Structure 1
């Protein structure tokens, strides 16, 4: 599945408000779908590169033999899921999905995003 198809598939999750594929080395968004004036996916993607980098530094400093599966940021009205693409060895990319908290099922959304990751080719 290419980037455009993967973004469309991620947006099919109940309550999805926006999704982006982001390079966390550069902070550049490689593709985005959804969003609105209050949800700038490019700005959010760039900002969340710092979240991913900070967690990776912490894992390294603690010398943990582990990787990030996904990260959840819970807001009052939204869930933000950050999923580094472990399936694409050597990539420094993550999927960033924003959900309307009142209309979404977090467990199903995480499972769905994992399936998108597994099918994505870049």
Structure 2
């Protein structure tokens, strides 16, 4: 079964995302900050990472950069990383692209949007 990594410091946001993902044929690992996400990313193969931008400690932009550096250093395949953010503007989109994100999901999450984006990125669908 395919694995996703869901990273958000807000427990309520993770709970909503997990509820929306329920029933899809994938396992979801959770992290509460960028450092924990990087450790999970280092230890596991994911088909998709959903990564909040604004978290204490290592934020999402820094975590994405670190994940891309790890992929390059270990010659790993490219894992799609989608930003989770409440901001939908050109500045954030540019920052995300420069950090190595493949797309953006705007909060508050909507079930159809999340399921469509996730299903389009998973090879099992």
TM-score normalized by structure 2? 0.28
- Relative contact order, higher structure (CA 8 A, sep 6+): 1
Flag the structure with higher strand content: 1
TM-score normalized by structure 1? 0.29
